[in-house]
Amino acid sequence: MGLCVSSQRRAERMRSLAIDRAIKADNTRLNKEFKVLLLVQSAQAFVQALFELGYPLSSEKSQYDAQLILNYRLQDNLDPVIADAITSVWKDPGTRSLMRERSNEFYLMDSAPYFFNGINRLRRRNYVPNIQDVLHARAKTTGINETRFTIGETIIHMFDVGGQRSERRKWIHCFEAVKLAVFCISLSEYDQVLLEESRQNRMLESLVLYDSVGSFKYEGNRAAASTLTFN
């Protein structure tokens, strides 16, 4: 009997380890796909801005590469041809002028230059995201994602909510039972525009949202205290 139980436990442990390895492999693959997706989408954003704002590229090769970027569809790995195209167009004098003079007129993630400058590392087939890659990565949030954690005896509920205008109606009710709302605004957005509205300043939009959240009634008719921070 003892041998049977021992064998069963070993088999269960082996299955558990196999599942853990599969989960780790899936996470690595998904993280890699996300970084490649972020890189390509950001490249397409600044190439589109080049055309719309009338910034010419310096050579026929750069113009050809720009069209390759716009027409590219994501694959499992970053195509070396597209990686070279992104590097070429990103370093082109036309792109440098665009970023220096009118980068506030179109939406580009703050972390995009980080990934463009590290594209030779990201293009490797055995690429695995490092800590800085993860910290620089960003995904558009939709719906509501809740995280609970404890500090001392205090239980904190943190909600990651969709920032797009169409998402706000989904999460405003999360503030119905709070006593303190901490609202953070990014200082880097002072001269940037919204993804869905290229004429709307992102910092002003955040202040409008802060005003609407601050005037919302919590716990019956009593409004919660609020703190506005800039980072």
Q: Which residues fall in the annotated binding site?
A: 110-111, 135-141, 160-164
Q: How far is CA 55 from CA 68, 136, 191, in A?
A: 17, 28, 20
Annotated binding-site ranges for Mg(2+): 141
Contact status, residue 107 vs residue 195, Cβ threshold 8 Å: yes
d(CA 141, CA 139): 6
Annotated binding-site ranges for GTP: 110-111, 135-141, 160-164
| Opening angle at CA 89, ends 54 and 128, nearest 5 | 135
Are β-strands 180-185 and 225-230 bridged in parallel, bridged antiparallel, or unpaired? parallel
